Amino acid sequence: MHIDFQAELDPEQYAAVTAIDGSVLIIAGAGSGKTRVITYRIAYLLAKAVPQEAILALTFTNKAAKEMVERAHGLTGLALKNLMVSTFHSFGAWMLRKEAGVLGYRSNFSIYDEQDRIHAIRESARELGMSNEQLDPARLSQLFSARRAGYGKQGELSERELELYDLYRKTIKVYNALDFDDLIALPLELLREHEDVRERYRSRFHYIMIDEFQDTSLQQYEFIRYIESGNICVVGDDDQSIYSWRGADFRNIERFELDHPGLAEIKLERNYRSTGSILTAANTVIAHNRRRKKKQLWSPQGVRGTPITLFEAEDDEDEAERIIARIRELRFRERADWDDFGILVRTNSLAEGIEDRLVEHNVPYRVAGGPSFYQRREIKDIIAYLKAAVNPDDDVSVLRVLNVPRRGIGRATVEFLSNIAKAHSASLNCAAETARQPGFVQTKDGHLQKALNEVFAFFDYLAQMRTALLEQKMSVSVAIRKVVEDTGYWQYLLEEHKKNDKAAVWKYRNIELLSASAERWEKDPDTFEKGIFAYLARISLSMRDDANEEEKRLNLLTIHAAKGLEFDYVFIPGCENGILPHARSLEDGDGDIEEERRLFYVAVTRAKKQLFMSRAMQRKKNGSFQETAPSPFLNELPQNLIVMAEAQVQPQSEDDLRKEFFSRLKSRFGA
């Protein structure tokens, strides 16, 4: 491995990459090559003969972690089997698999996603006798998450809801399951209370790097503090801190400075993404925030670029039409692909109106944050089989597939077993074992006995699968295919979709994609940890569907979802007071306004070539049009960099644009 680090990096990047000893704070502005710095740091550490297993890099998305490993592998040419590059939550899950017994869990615990958690909340509420009218499970899920993650507010849960929270916590522990927030809270508890565990991880990871440090929560910061041993590098940008609503605290940058006196601070301000006019706009707006690290993005190319275009539409429908018209024009004039465009919205409701127009005009598009591949019903079913196989006490997964495909197990049978489970504070699996005992079931009900026999057969099947998976006699990809074959899932799909066999075929193909994906993962030499538990953790923590990524489609997404992405042409609709900034922030004070300004800054800095902003003079709300006021952020932009667009009523088709172009050519040359 020979890399000329000084030649391949700019001076600031080189300083950031080679400062490997002690505490380092890297303030990385938008588009400054942050991921490049982290991957080159990994390569530099390896070049200095630091063992792979002594390096830990933590980030926030599986996509970012995968990209770092791929880039580091490309740089070094090494098989990075012992290098730990992970999300915080994946790292927490990995730690808990090793240490679960210390906290009273078994290592075959399940990880619940949002749907699983809501199901468990409903079950707990039912046990407390709470009616559906008293229950808003989606709201409670958010509040329970905030409480568990340490950023819940005093008094936001009633006494009854606190009782439900406590029962929910007990319920999922009976199921030997963890939710997303447990993957940080439990390792933190482990590290805080067990010095031997703390020292074990400190002595292993000699070099730690944290990506997107401004997005860490107080719990995550404390987590890091417990495992660091002196050589730690955090990379972040306080100007891009936009997740306070889920516990992120940009003040962790200030805490890091206080806790690490004498640290080295390096600023990356060269922006390799945007034109000069876009950077000037971004710098000018964000300078209005008082609590921030001073930095000034600049372009080494020195290209000023085109001015920012602002148009004022009559209403929200006119706004959507004009955005589509400009996109069609740019596609033709600049020969741009659909995926060169990003429409970034403050709220999902704003996206809906634009989406309607995209459909009407036959524009191919993707909505980031839409239903994930792993949230599709057929995929959830197969994953539930795997989860229940390795953790038969996971009642949420068991109940999902106990009668899928149909086995004649009805509500009465489930209630019969549930009553046994409640009496013994146990899972349905334990209840079934109890019901198997000779003479336990005193009934002449032939239907119940037949259904119970089906339940026993179901758990026996799970036990066979468990043995094969845990003894590694069967790979995950084979297990997926075996579940489909053994349970008759294909026939079940055909039965479910009698009137539309294409839907059955489509769902079956999705399961084949799942199996193929698992096989690729198993064969990947850079997969750090293999086996069924690592696979299920990976699936549970996957937040985005990466299917059909090669298909070129326009990107419609919230500004929050756009963070870390870039597009040649960016459109920011809804630049109105009450939307951007959001109405909530106008009520809650300066701190929230500053976060809204950071959100606007993130949207602006996604643009590479051209930036378009728009507002509707009136917007439909509750069935009637209401007048709007422009966003105050528009007034903070340098006015000499803004041009007002002329009105254009109807988006032209590409055929019309082509005809118009050739018509102009003919008139120019007198043809």
Nearest-CA neighbor of 513 among 485, 486, 483, 548? 548
Most confident of 176-180, 345-349, 533-537, 666-670: 176-180
Nearest-CA neighbor of 89 among 201, 203, 194, 187? 187
Whether 482 is covered by a domain: the verdict is: yes
Instruction: Please indicate, yes or no, whether residues 211 and 159 belong to a single structural domain of this protein.
Output: no
Residue 567: half-sphere exposure toward Cβ, Cα within 13 Å: 29
- Count the neighbouring beta carbons within 10 Å of the beta carbon of residue 473: 9
Structure tokens at 557: 């997404």
**CA distance linking residue 522 with residue 526, whole number of Å:** 10
Place of tokens 């004498």: 262
Confidence of residue 472 (pLDDT cuts 50, 70, 90): confident
* pLDDT tens profile 298-342: 998 877 889 999 999 999 999 999 999 999 999 999 999 999 999
**CA distance linking residue 600 with residue 581, whole number of Å:** 8
Confidence of residue 352 (pLDDT cuts 50, 70, 90): confident
Residues flagged as binding site for ATP: 28-35
**CA distance linking residue 492 with residue 378, whole number of Å:** 11
Whether 345 is covered by a domain: the verdict is: yes
Distances (CA, A) of 337 to 23, 66, 328: 43, 26, 10
Instruction: Please indicate, yes or no, whether residues 197 and 86 belong to a single structural domain of this protein.
Output: yes
- Give me the active site residues, please: 34-35, 211-212, 240, 606
Q: Give the pLDDT confidence score for residue 661 in this predicted structure.
A: 52
**CA distance linking residue 217 with residue 58, whole number of Å:** 13
**Is 70 exceeded by the pLDDT of residue 551?**
no
Q: Is 156 exposed, middle or buried (0-12, 13-18, 19+ CB in 10 A)?
A: exposed
**CA distance linking residue 7 with residue 187, whole number of Å:** 41
Distances (CA, A) of 280 to 101, 304, 575, 598: 55, 9, 19, 15
What is the torsional sign of CA 630, 631, 633, 634?
negative
Instruction: Please indicate, yes or no, whether residues 351 and 411 belong to a single structural domain of this protein.
Output: no
Q: Give the pLDDT confidence score for residue 268 in this predicted structure.
A: 97
Helix (H) or strand (E) segment spanning residue 22: none
Whether 65 is covered by a domain: the verdict is: yes
Distances (CA, A) of 164 to 144, 159, 516: 10, 9, 41
Whether 540 is covered by a domain: the verdict is: no
pTM exceeds 0.85 for this model: no
- DSSP codes, 392-457: TT-HHHHHHHTTSS--S--HHHHHHHHHHHHHTT--HHHHHHHHHSTT------HHHHHHHHHHHH
Instruction: Please indicate, yes or no, whether residues 281 and 333 belong to a single structural domain of this protein.
Output: yes
Most distant pair of Cα atoms in the chain: their distance: 101
**Is 90 exceeded by the pLDDT of residue 423?**
no
Domain range for 152 is: 112-175
> Any idea which of 178-187, 447-456, 542-551 has the lowest mean pLDDT?
542-551
Amino acid at 258: L
Q: Give the pLDDT confidence score for residue 664 in this predicted structure.
A: 53
DSSP single-letter state for residue 571? E
* pLDDT tens profile 364-396: 888 875 555 777 889 999 999 999 999 999 999
Name the domain boundary from 175, 202, 230.
175
Name the domain boundary from 156, 175, 194.
175
**CA distance linking residue 290 with residue 535, whole number of Å:** 45
Percent of the chain with pLDDT strictly greater than 70: 93
Confidence of residue 444 (pLDDT cuts 50, 70, 90): low
Confidence of residue 614 (pLDDT cuts 50, 70, 90): very high
**Is 70 exceeded by the pLDDT of residue 351?**
yes
* Contact status, residue 209 vs residue 224, Cβ threshold 8 Å: no
**CA distance linking residue 508 with residue 506, whole number of Å:** 5
**Is 50 exceeded by the pLDDT of residue 545?**
no
Number of helices (H) and strands (E) in the chain: give both, helices first: 29, 16
**CA distance linking residue 238 with residue 28, whole number of Å:** 9
* Contact status, residue 280 vs residue 641, Cβ threshold 8 Å: yes
The residue ranking higher by pLDDT, 444 or 398, is 398
Confidence of residue 438 (pLDDT cuts 50, 70, 90): confident
Whether 231 is covered by a domain: the verdict is: yes
Instruction: Please indicate, yes or no, whether residues 56 and 194 belong to a single structural domain of this protein.
Output: yes
Residue 349 in 3-state DSSP? helix
Q: Give the pLDDT confidence score for residue 662 in this predicted structure.
A: 53
**CA distance linking residue 638 with residue 308, whole number of Å:** 10
Q: What is the 3-state secondary structure (H, E, C) of 448-516?
A: HHHHHHHHHHHHHHHHHHHHHHHCCCCCHHHHHHHHHHHHCHHHHHHHHCCCCHHHHHHHHHHHHHHHH
**Is 60 exceeded by the pLDDT of residue 559?**
yes
Measured in degrees and rounded to the nearest 5, phi and psi for residue 470 equal -70, -30
**CA distance linking residue 619 with residue 596, whole number of Å:** 20
Residues flagged as binding site: 28-35
Q: Which residues contact 34 (CB under 8 A, 6 or more apart)?
A: 26, 28, 211, 235, 237, 268
Q: Which residues contact 348 (CB under 8 A, 6 or more apart)?
A: 558
Confidence of residue 547 (pLDDT cuts 50, 70, 90): very low
**Is 90 exceeded by the pLDDT of residue 481?**
yes
Instruction: Please indicate, yes or no, whether residues 195 and 132 belong to a single structural domain of this protein.
Output: no
Q: Give the pLDDT confidence score for residue 445 in this predicted structure.
A: 66
Confidence of residue 544 (pLDDT cuts 50, 70, 90): very low
Nearest-CA neighbor of 372 among 63, 58, 60? 63
Name the domain boundary from 229, 246, 268.
268
The residue ranking higher by pLDDT, 445 or 433, is 433
Structure tokens at 547: 């299917």
Instruction: Please indicate, yes or no, whether residues 378 and 472 belong to a single structural domain of this protein.
Output: yes
Whether 531 is covered by a domain: the verdict is: no
Whether 106 is covered by a domain: the verdict is: no
Instruction: Please indicate, yes or no, whether residues 169 and 259 belong to a single structural domain of this protein.
Output: no
- DSSP codes, 131-160: -GGG--HHHHHHHHHHHHHT-PPTTSS-HH
The residue ranking higher by pLDDT, 91 or 620, is 91
Instruction: Please indicate, yes or no, whether residues 22 and 66 belong to a single structural domain of this protein.
Output: yes
Instruction: Please indicate, yes or no, whether residues 509 and 562 belong to a single structural domain of this protein.
Output: no
* Contact status, residue 29 vs residue 300, Cβ threshold 8 Å: no
- Count the neighbouring beta carbons within 10 Å of the beta carbon of residue 496: 16
Whether 604 is covered by a domain: the verdict is: yes
Instruction: Please indicate, yes or no, whether residues 223 and 293 belong to a single structural domain of this protein.
Output: no
CATH of the domain at 412: 1.10.486.10
* pLDDT tens profile 4-31: 999 999 999 999 999 999 999 999 999 9
Q: Give the pLDDT confidence score for residue 546 in this predicted structure.
A: 43
Q: What is the mean pLDDT of the chain?
A: 89
- Count the neighbouring beta carbons within 10 Å of the beta carbon of residue 3: 16
Structure tokens at 295: 């930095």
- When divided into structural domains, the chain yields a total of 4
DSSP single-letter state for residue 653? P
* Contact status, residue 38 vs residue 211, Cβ threshold 8 Å: yes
Confidence of residue 260 (pLDDT cuts 50, 70, 90): very high
* pLDDT tens profile 95-116: 999 998 899 888 889 999 888 8
CATH of the domain at 92: 3.40.50.300
Instruction: Please indicate, yes or no, whether residues 16 and 135 belong to a single structural domain of this protein.
Output: no
